[in-house]
Structure 1
Amino acid sequence: MLISNLEYIPGRTVTTHLGLVQGSTVRAKHVGRDIAATLKNIFGGELRGYTELLNDARQEALARMEAQAQALGANAILNVRFSTSSVAQGAAELYAYGTAVVVESV
């Protein structure tokens, strides 16, 4: 599956437009990560626990979007974007979306 944030893939021609595909996940903060984050806010530095949490969430949202595209018969997803929103205190949704297409080499 080709995944791109561009509206096209260089050297490929879109032959079929299959529509919007999406994937999301809602993640909550971990108490241990909150304690570590509080200490980092005092002393400074990267909040590695949150970095890992967001990386995992992005990968899961992408995998769900890709599975939806494969079910439609797509071999590429174009114009991929990410969005986040707060769902509840301490929980956030990470949402990935794009356009499922079939592409062929030029």
Structure 2
Amino acid sequence: MASKYSDQANSRFGEIIITTLEGVPGKEIIEHFGLVQGSTIRAKHVGRDIMAGLKNLVGGELKGYTELLQEARKEAVERMLQQANFVGANAVVNVRFATSSVAQGAAELFAYGTAVKVQ
């Protein structure tokens, strides 16, 4: 499914389409620009760790971590869009996310895809 990322991101980067598909349905890829990527490294907050420890006792969603990951995902995608905009793309296809542990209590969230021009 193709989507426009967000109104805020679109205002900064124009109308860049983002999709996990290999192409944009109903549109033809006319130019490939190659890999674009964005990442952020986030550390856990001591307060969130304490709340997560308490939540482990009773179960349930760790909302502090959910918010942390949502913020990290948004920042990584916006950085990827910034690269796509810089090379002149109007779409990013095959978008994927990856995470990795960088240090004790810190993780990287990485977003990447192929920048293209569609018509």
TM-score (ref. length: structure 1): 0.98
Match of 2:88 in 1: 73
Cα distance in 2 for partners of 1:101, 1:10 equals: 14
SS at match of 2:70: helix
Cα distance in 2 for partners of 1:64, 1:35 equals: 31
Match of 1:6 in 2: 21
| Alignment of structure 1 residues 1-106 onto 2, 5 Å | 1-104=16-119
Higher strand share: 1
Q: Which runs of 5+ in 1 are unaligned?
A: none
User: Which has the bigger relative contact order, CA under 8 A and spacing at least 6?
Assistant: 1
Name the % identity.
Answer: 67
Superimposed CA distance per residue, residues 4-51 of structure 1 (whole angstroms, 9 cap, x where no aligned partner):
000011100000000000000000000000000000001111000000
The two structures, once aligned, show a CA RMSD in angstroms of 0.3
Which amino acid is 2:39 matched to? Answer: S
Q: Which runs of 4+ in 1 moved over 3 A?
A: none
Which amino acid is 1:6 matched to? Answer: L
The Cα shift of 1:103 comes to 0.2
Q: Which runs of 5+ in 2 are unaligned?
A: 1-15
Which amino acid is 1:26 matched to? Answer: I
Superimposed CA distance per residue, residues 62-91 of structure 1 (whole angstroms, 9 cap, x where no aligned partner):
000000000000000000000000000000
